[in-house]
Each structure stands twice: as structure tokens, then as C-alpha cells.
Amino acid sequence: MNEILIKTYVKSKCFLDKLIQSEEGMGMVELALIIIILIGLALIFKTEIEKFMTKIFEEFNIDALKG
């Protein structure tokens, strides 16, 4: 009876180890995809982002000059 429990434990342990290792790889793939999507969005909306940032910095400069 103990042999069966030990074999079952070892097999389940090996399975869980493989599952954990494969999930870590998926995390890296997901992170890479998110970064690629963000870069793509930044390139698509480049002019809008530049206009928005220019407007914000101009407002900061005006507020700084007013004191």
C-alpha cells in the first residue's frame, strides 16, 4: 500500500513541477505581448501623445511663471 502512495506522490509531484515551469514561460510571453501592444499603440497615437504632452508642459510653464 505504501508503494502505491509513494508512486502516486512522485508522479503528482513531477506533474506539478512541469505545470509550474510551463506557467512561468507563459508569463514571459504575456509580458512580451503587452509590451509589443503598448509600443504599437504609442507609435499609432504618436502625434496625439506629443500634442497632449506639449499642452501639459505649456500649462506647467505658465503656472510656474505665475508663481
Q: Give the other-Cβ count within 10 Å of 45's Cβ.
A: 12
Mean pLDDT for the stretch of residues 43-67? 87
Confidence of residue 14 (pLDDT cuts 50, 70, 90): confident
2 versus 34: which is more confidently predicted?
34
Mean pLDDT for the stretch of residues 13-24? 68
**Total number of residues shown for the chain:** 67
Collapsed DSSP state (helix, strand, coil) of residue 60: helix
Query: The domain containing residue 22 runs over which residues?
Result: 2-66
Burial of 6 per CB tally in 10 Å (0-12, 13-18, 19+): exposed
Confidence of residue 22 (pLDDT cuts 50, 70, 90): low
Q: How many domains does the chain have?
A: 1
